[in-house]
């Protein structure tokens, strides 16, 4: 098959995502008082309501409504003041009532967007001719390095209930076909689920991956879910179709399932785009179907073909009155939305002058952000950029560091008392202990010599024996200083401060 | 106080038990004895629950012996329509589908009756899943009208009405989706009330039409019905039913208030409608006069869209029924036809054999009406009609406290006399609009038909949450009749003696 880059040079991929998020941090299910827990024995968190016993009635979980309203606010959605639940009918034992309670044409949250930042290599996936956002309005402006920001519109976020877990025993690959028996665990049945549907504004697999990643950060920050892809707390389906470069209208789409990691999401879309291009270029047409991503074989296979669309016989659930959300309710939810990663990133850049890349990384995860900010309080403002560098590049690999330990290392590094490599060593040494980095540095004699006179002697010695390099320098090759710094470091047995060596070398060479 | 139990009112039984005139156990045995002696002919019951009854009665007696204050319905025998869950009983909905279904929990309405001290003596026959107005669609057996065993008791709460009319129990609960309490009450000569939607919890009552269903009591006196409503609403809103409201109040307190100056609306055109039996028309005119005789102002009102209510009702009710009955697939409980290779086949065969003809007809109708091709033309149109009828009632209730109208166009008919489903649907004309709007309604027996000799009921409908005022007007109708407390003559006093 052709490479993605080649395909995207000719074809425009139109991608939309449907992302289900289970509100795992709530205590009870959507319409009954059963506990939400994945780890309990099967069918222990069940009651007449979630088992669909005759006569049982749903009662909505108010906290779940708060969660979805918060999700809507955090994704720039309009919060619909009046919406209702609908019944979606299909006969399958994973839905005890044989209908799913979900929302109709009006969802709790609609018409939102997330601004997607695409940088680095990922930006290259989007062909340069593709320079308008999915809404057809905003031109995409690229920075010098090719990175760009594109708004991805969100059609809606609606509330629904999850289905039971089915385990098919005795068949191949756990599928129902050929299974000897099917086991049902209703613990998950009726768990609160929010489904976010994007507009088909995504154009590359990388954008889809980034959107999912960014949404995950937002929902993590809100604390409405554990947001685990592996455990299926967040599940993503991708819809993708191709159209000729510059064409209007949409091609026939396929729906991709089993995208349970960011990598699968990217790779499955990339595969599917290339597959569709091949089909179209052979003069055939794409069939509307649902396809299953097989990560082990790195391909998608047909799950089912949709010839006619299913008729779910939607109608408003007569057991549940329409929701009229008051201003007070919405404002209360708004007040509960914490600072989101983008805002946090901007604040880090503005307040401490962090570099964008580091600010993004620190702001992404609420736990890391809170550790960073707590530690930043322990150091002078001028040290915070060094702290950010330490956090992003060194702390990530450590298990159990305290804020004072990280603060101390950042300070030592900022004062040029230790090198970056030494900072890494020190952190490894104090990790999981209550040792003081300052003491370790002194004990082990790691503190770098910053005595200008002592270092100056080394510099003089090195310059004396590296005549060639000195000549090169004067010939205009400024890069040769790096080599000379290395020589100085070696001569000092690693204890000299490289920055200082650099300064002194340049000084001497320019004299 | 001694004599046949069927001569006592609910309050008389509770007071007698509290005073020690007789024990709750004696009352329970009397009711069970009456059932044993009468139900062979009436066939109101699906099952009797002697053990539960004697255990509940024993608790009442023990509480009294311990000097505790007894709850308001202490010792009163009650029976429940068989679509109400009660742990320790099957809840069959008179369907093969649920023939062996053991209640997994107890319905709120049932629990509230038990909390008030009532003694559960059994579960009552009904039309399958409450689809019908004869009780003949029960998968197990028909129920006979105690006034004439060759006739239907009405439906779908036909067992509830017949058990009360034959004096087997003092009070019974029914459910009313389009007249299923009021119509059998009228045909059996008892009082049957459909409270305002939301007054009584629906939790644990097998759903038919969720936006229409309402549980209510049937009794031989307005007073008995009010006493039961007290128990059903005590405790306020049910947190298991999102549509329920807090309607706790003393519905007995104002029963005998004067109705002088009250206004009741009548709709003359309705009394001229084809299909209305002459004796029903006469009875309705008498009822008007009796109310007027007590100082009630009778004025004409109009409900111009009432004629559309049957069409709207059968669309909405069928759609909701299709959806509510989808859960009966034989997978987790209920009738399962085994031995099929695929789940789809098992589900479709279990449903084909588990449901009776009327249940299938309504579900197929609902499945069609909700399909995307038909939805706008039918379901959406029906909801618009619903809005229009609601507006009609609002206009009428701006002028009057209640509307007086027949409950059924005719007295009880013979088993099998009407076999065309559409003809049966049309007989619901007087009761259905009340469910569409969610107002309260009550049927009160006013006389025996001058030609048939069968009981005739008059219906009063009131605005939402004016249930107490409706009961006062119903009591006024009852006071002027000679039907209060009547047991069908063939059964009065047969068995059920309190020693």
Taking the C-alpha atoms of residue A19 and residue B117, their distance in angstroms, rounded to an integer, is 52
Nearest CA in chain B to A179: B342
The span from the CA of B369 to the CA of B383, in Å, is: 13
pLDDT at B419: 79
Residue B348 sits in the same domain as residue B250: no
Give me the pLDDT at residue A134, please.
72
Residues B143 and B31 in one domain: yes
Same domain, yes or no, for B81 and B197? yes
Q: Are the Cβ atoms of B370 and A52 closer than 8 angstroms? A: no
pLDDT at position A144, please?
78
Instruction: Using an 8 Å CB-CB cutoff, list chain B residues near A51.
Output: 104, 332
**Inter-chain residue contact A52 with B332, CB threshold 8 Å:** yes
* Shortest Cα distance, chain A CAs vs residue B210, angstroms: 6
Same domain? For B366 and B477 the reply is no
Contacts of A275 (CB under 8 A, 6+ apart): A1, A300
Q: Are A13 and A200 contacting, i.e. CB atoms less than 8 angstroms apart?
A: no
Please report which helix (H) or strand (E) contains residue B180, including its range. Answer: none
Chain B hits for A177, CB-CB cut-off 8 Å, are: none
CB atoms within 10 A of CB B216: 30
Q: Would you state the pLDDT for residue A307?
A: 61
pLDDT at B450: 94
- Collapsed DSSP state (helix, strand, coil) of residue B221: coil
Q: Are A169 and A182 in contact (CB under 8 A)?
A: yes
Would you name the residues of B annotated as active-site residues? 81, 156, 180
pTM recorded for the entire structure = 0.88
pLDDT for position B447: 98
In B278-307, the residues whose Cβ lies within 8 Å of chain A are: none
Give yes or no for A482 touching B (CB within 8 A).
no
Q: Please state, in angstroms and rounded to a whole number, the distance separating the CA atoms of residues A120 and A148.
A: 10
Regarding whether B178 and B59 lie in a shared domain, the answer is yes
Determine, for residues A55 and B243 on separate chains, whether the beta-carbon distance falls below 8 Å: no
Among the candidates B380, B410, B432, a domain finishes at B380
Q: Which residues of A touch B197 (CB under 8 A)?
A: none
User: Which candidate from A51, A59, A96 shows the least CB-CB separation from B242?
Assistant: A59
Domain assignment present for B187? yes
> Is residue B18 less than 8 Å (CB to CB) from chain A?
no
User: CB-based contact (8 Å) between B101 and chain A?
Assistant: yes
Delineate the domains of chain A, giving CATH numbers in brackets: 4-333 (no CATH), 339-443 (no CATH), 452-510 (1.10.10.410)
Is A52 in contact with B344 (Cβ distance < 8 A)?
Answer: no
In angstroms, what CA-CA distances link A99 with A164, A194, B212, B255?
A: 12, 17, 20, 44
User: Contact at 8 Å (CB) between A251 and A286?
Assistant: yes
Whole-number pLDDT of residue B164: 98
In-domain check, residue B88: yes
Q: Is A29 on the interface with B (CB under 8 A)?
A: no
According to the model, what pLDDT value does residue A216 have?
94
What pLDDT was estimated at residue B317? 97
Q: What is the CATH number of the domain that holds B86?
A: 3.90.1300.10
A300 - beta bridge partners? Answer: A293
Residue B182 lies in a domain: yes
Q: What are phi and psi of B486, to 5 degrees?
A: -70, 135
Spatial separation of the C-alpha atoms in residues B174 and B194, rounded to whole Å: 9
Would you call B342 an interface residue with chain A, using a CB distance cutoff of 8 Å?
A: no
Structure-token match 């470091």, residue found: A489
- Token readout for A470 is 């000195």
* Contact residues, chain A, for B204 at CB < 8 Å: 48, 55-56
Which tens digits make up the pLDDT trace of B122-147? Answer: 999 999 999 999 999 999 999 999 99
Q: Within an 8 Å CB–CB cutoff, is residue B83 touching chain A?
A: yes
Among partner residues A51, A87, A91, which is closest to B323 by beta-carbon distance?
A87
Closest residue of chain A to B206, computed from CA coordinates: A55
**Closest Cα of chain B to A175: distance in Å?**
14
**Mean pLDDT value across residues B46-51:** 98
**Count of structural domains, chain B:** 2
pLDDT above 60: residue B1: no
Total count of residues recorded for chain B = 499
Nearest Cα of chain A lies from the Cα of B8 at a distance, in angstroms, of 33
Classify residue B36: in a domain, yes or no: yes
**For an interface test with B, which of A54, A175, A313, A317 has the most B Cβ atoms less than 10 Å from its Cβ?**
A54
| One domain, residues B248 and B316 | no
Beta-carbon separation of A52 and B241 below 8 A: no
Domain boundary among B344, B363, B380: B380
Q: Does B343 touch chain A (CB under 8 A)?
A: yes
One domain for residues B106 and B173: yes
**Residue B367 contacts A, CB cutoff 8 Å:** yes
B141/B248 same-domain check: yes
Per-residue confidence (pLDDT) for residue A130, from 0 to 100: 64
> DSSP string covering A398-459, please?
-S---HHHHHHHHHHHHTTSS-HHHHHHHHHHHTTS---HHHHHHHTT-PPB--HHHHHHHH
Task: Determine whether the interchain pair B84/A55 forms a contact, defined as Cβ–Cβ distance below 8 Å.
Answer: yes
pLDDT at A507: 86
Give strand pairing partners of B414: B151
Q: Hey, is the C-beta of B323 within 8 angstroms of any chain A C-beta?
A: yes
CB burial of A296-311 (b: ≥16 within 10 Å; e: otherwise) equals eeebbeebeeeeeeee
- Same domain, yes or no, for B161 and B40? yes
Residues B209 and B353 in one domain: no
- The residue out of B326, B357, B380 marking a domain boundary is B380
User: Chains A, B: CB contacts under 8 A, how many?
Assistant: 96
A-chain residues near B329 (CB < 8 A): 91, 93, 98
3-state secondary structure of A236: strand
Closest CA to A121 of A143, A146, A89: A146
- Mutation for B interface: A29, A30, A311, A313, most B CBs within 10 A: A313
Helix axes of A356-364 and A341-352: crossing angle, nearest 10 degrees: 140
Q: Does B263 touch chain A (CB under 8 A)?
A: no
Q: Which domain holds residue B167?
A: 3-255+465-498
Q: Look at residue B421 and tell me whether its pLDDT is greater than 90.
A: no
Both B36 and B182 in one domain: the answer is yes
- For residue A194, give how far its alpha carbon lies from the nearest alpha carbon of chain B (Å): 21
Asked if A315 and B239 come within 8 Å (Cβ–Cβ), the reply is no
Predicted confidence pLDDT, tens digits, chain A (511 residues):
788 888 988 899 999 999 999 999 999 999 999 999 888 999 999 999 999 999 999 999 999 999 999 999 999 999 999 999 999 999 998 999 999 999 999 999 999 999 888 877 778 888 766 667 776 667 787 877 888 888 999 999 999 999 999 888 876 666 666 777 889 999 999 999 999 999 999 999 999 999 999 999 999 999 999 999 988 999 999 999 999 887 888 999 999 998 989 999 999 999 999 999 999 999 999 999 999 999 888 899 988 776 667 899 999 999 999 999 999 999 999 999 999 988 999 999 999 999 988 898 898 888 899 999 999 999 999 999 999 999 988 887 777 899 999 999 999 888 878 888 888 889 988 988 988 998 888 887 777 666 667 788 888 888 888 888 888 998 888 888 889 988 888 888 777 778 888 888 888 888 7
In a domain, B357, yes or no: yes
Question: B323 and A89 in contact by Cβ < 8 A?
Answer: yes
Is B327 in contact with A313 (Cβ distance < 8 A)? no
Say what the pLDDT of residue A308 is. 66
Q: Are residues B188 and B320 in the same domain?
A: no
pLDDT tens-digit readout, B339-389: 888 888 999 999 999 999 999 999 999 999 999 999 999 999 999 999 999
B478, part of any domain: yes
Contact residues on chain B for A314, CB-CB shorter than 8 A: 370, 375
Domain assignment of residue B169, yes or no: yes
> What is the per-residue pLDDT across B382-395, written as a single tens digit (0 to 9) for each?
999 999 999 999 99
Backbone angles phi, psi at A270, to 5 degrees: -60, -45
Say whether residue A60 is in contact with chain B using an 8 A CB cutoff. yes
Contact A127, A158 (CB under 8 A): no
Verify whether the Cβ–Cβ distance A318 to B372 is below 8 Å: no
Question: Which of B104, B123, B376 is best to mutate for the A interface (most A CBs within 10 A)?
Answer: B104
Distance CA B132, CA B358 (A): 8
Tens digit of each residue's pLDDT (9 = 90 or more) over B435-454: 999 999 999 999 999 999 99
């Amino acid at each position: 098959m052709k490479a993605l880059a080649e395909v995207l040079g000719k074809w425009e991929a139109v991608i939309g995502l449907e992302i289900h998020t289970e509100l795992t941090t709530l205590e009870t299910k959507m319409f009954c008082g059963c506990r939400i827990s994945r780890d309990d024995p099967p069918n222990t968190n069940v009651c007449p309501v979630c088992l669909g016993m005759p006569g049982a009635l749903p009662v909505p979980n108010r906290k779940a409504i708060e969660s979805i309203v918060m999700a809507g606010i955090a994704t720039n959605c309009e919060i619909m003041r009046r919406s209702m639940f609908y019944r979606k009918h299909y006969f399958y034992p994973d839905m005890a009532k044989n209908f799913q309670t979900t929302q109709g044409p009006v969802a709790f949250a609609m018409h939102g967007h997330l601004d997607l930042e695409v940088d680095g290599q990922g930006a290259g996936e989007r062909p340069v001719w593709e320079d308008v956002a999915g809404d057809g309005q905003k031109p995409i402006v690229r920075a010098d390095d090719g990175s760009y920001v594109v708004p991805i519109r969100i059609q809606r976020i609606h509330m629904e209930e999850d289905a039971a877990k089915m385990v098919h025993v005795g068949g191949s690959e756990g599928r129902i076909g050929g299974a000897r028996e099917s086991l049902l665990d209703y613990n998950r049945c009726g768990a609160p689920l929010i489904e976010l549907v994007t507009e088909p504004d995504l154009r590359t697999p990388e954008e889809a991956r980034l959107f999912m990643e960014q949404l995950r950060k937002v929902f993590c920050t809100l604390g409405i879910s554990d947001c685990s892809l592996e455990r299926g707390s967040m599940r993503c389906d991708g819809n993708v179709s191709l159209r000729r470069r510059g064409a209007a209208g949409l091609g026939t789409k396929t729906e991709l399932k089993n995208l349970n990691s960011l990598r699968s999401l990217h790779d499955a879309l990339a595969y599917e785009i290339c597959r569709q291009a091949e089909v179209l270029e052979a003069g055939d047409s794409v069939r509307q179907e649902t396809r299953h991503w097989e990560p082990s074989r790195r391909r998608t296979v047909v799950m089912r073909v949709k010839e006619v669309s299913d008729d779910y016989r939607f109608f408003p659930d007569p057991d549940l009155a329409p929701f009229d959300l008051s201003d007070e309710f919405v404002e209360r939810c708004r007040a509960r939305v914490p600072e989101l990663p983008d805002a946090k990133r901007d604040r880090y850049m503005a307040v401490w002058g962090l570099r964008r890349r580091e600010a993004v990384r620190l702001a992404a995860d609420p736990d890391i952000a809170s550790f960073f900010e707590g530690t930043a309080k322990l150091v002078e403002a001028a040290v915070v950029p060094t702290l950010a560098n330490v956090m992003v590049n060194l702390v990530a690999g450590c298990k159990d560091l305290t804020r004072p330990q990280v603060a101390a290392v950042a300070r030592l590094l900022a004062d040029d008392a230790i090198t970056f490599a030494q900072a890494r060593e020190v952190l490894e040494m104090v990790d999981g202990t209550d040792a003081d980095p300052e003491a370790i540095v002194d004990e082990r004699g790691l503190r770098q010599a910053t005595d200008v006179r002592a270092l100056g002697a080394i510099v003089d010695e090195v310059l004396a024996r590296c005549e060639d390099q000195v000549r090169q320098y004067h010939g205009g090759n400024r890069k040769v200083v790096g080599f000379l710094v290395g020589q100085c470091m070696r001569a000092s047995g690693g204890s000299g401060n490289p920055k200082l060596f650099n300064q002194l070398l340049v000084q001497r060479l320019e004299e | 106080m001694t004599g046949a139990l069927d001569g006592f009112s609910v309050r008389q039984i509770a007071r007698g038990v509290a005073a020690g005139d007789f024990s709750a156990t004696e009352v329970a045995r009397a009711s069970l004895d009456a059932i044993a002696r009468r139900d062979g002919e009436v066939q109101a019951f699906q099952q009797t629950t002697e053990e539960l009854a004697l255990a509940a009665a024993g608790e009442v007696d023990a509480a009294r012996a311990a000097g505790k204050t007894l709850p308001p319905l202490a010792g009163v025998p009650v029976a429940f329509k068989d679509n109400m869950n009660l742990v320790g009983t099957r809840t069959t909905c008179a369907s093969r589908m649920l023939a062996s279904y053991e209640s997994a929990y107890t319905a709120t309405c049932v629990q509230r009756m038990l909390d008030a001290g009532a003694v559960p003596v059994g579960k009552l026959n009904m039309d399958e899943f409450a689809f019908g107005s004869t009780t003949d669609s029960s998968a197990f057996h028909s129920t006979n009208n105690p006034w004439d065993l060759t006739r239907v008791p009405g439906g779908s709460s036909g067992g509830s009405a017949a058990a009360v009319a034959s004096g087997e129990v003092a009070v019974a609960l029914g459910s009313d989706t389009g007249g299923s309490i009021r119509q059998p009450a009228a045909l059996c000569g008892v009082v049957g009330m459909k409270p305002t939607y939301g007054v009584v919890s629906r939790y644990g009552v097998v759903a038919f039409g969720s936006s229409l269903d309402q549980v209510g009591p049937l009794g031989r006196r307005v007073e008995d019905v009010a006493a039961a409503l007290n128990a059903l609403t005590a405790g306020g809103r049910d947190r298991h039913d999102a549509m329920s409201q807090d309607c706790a109040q003393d519905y007995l307190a104002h029963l005998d208030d004067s109705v002088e100056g009250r206004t009741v609306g009548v709709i003359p055109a309705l009394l001229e409608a084809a299909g209305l039996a002459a004796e029903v028309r006469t009875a309705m005119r008498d009822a008007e006069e009796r109310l007027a005789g007590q100082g009630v102002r009778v004025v004409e009102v109009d409900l111009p869209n009432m004629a559309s209510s049957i069409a709207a009702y059968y669309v909405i009710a069928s759609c909701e029924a299709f959806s509510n009955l989808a859960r009966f697939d034989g997978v987790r409980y209920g009738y399962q036809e085994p031995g099929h290779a695929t789940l789809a086949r098992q589900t479709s065969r279990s449903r084909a054999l588990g449901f009776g003809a009327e249940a299938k007809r309504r579900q197929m109708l609902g499945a069609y009406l909700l399909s995307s091709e038909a939805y706008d033309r039918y379901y959406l149109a029906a909801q618009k009609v619903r809005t229009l009828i609601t507006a009609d009632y609002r206009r009428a209730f701006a002028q009057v406290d209640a509307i007086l109208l027949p409950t059924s166009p005719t007295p009880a008919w013979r088993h099998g006399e009407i076999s065309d489903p559409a003809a049966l649907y049309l007989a619901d004309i007087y009761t259905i609009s009340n469910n569409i709007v969610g107002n309260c309604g009550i049927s009160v027996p006013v006389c025996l038909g001058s030609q048939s000799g069968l009981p005739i009921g008059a219906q009063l409908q009131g605005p939402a949450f004016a249930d107490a005022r409706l009961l006062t007007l119903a009591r006024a109708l009852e006071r002027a009749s000679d039907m209060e407390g009547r047991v069908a003559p063939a059964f009065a006093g047969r068995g059920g003696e309190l020693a």
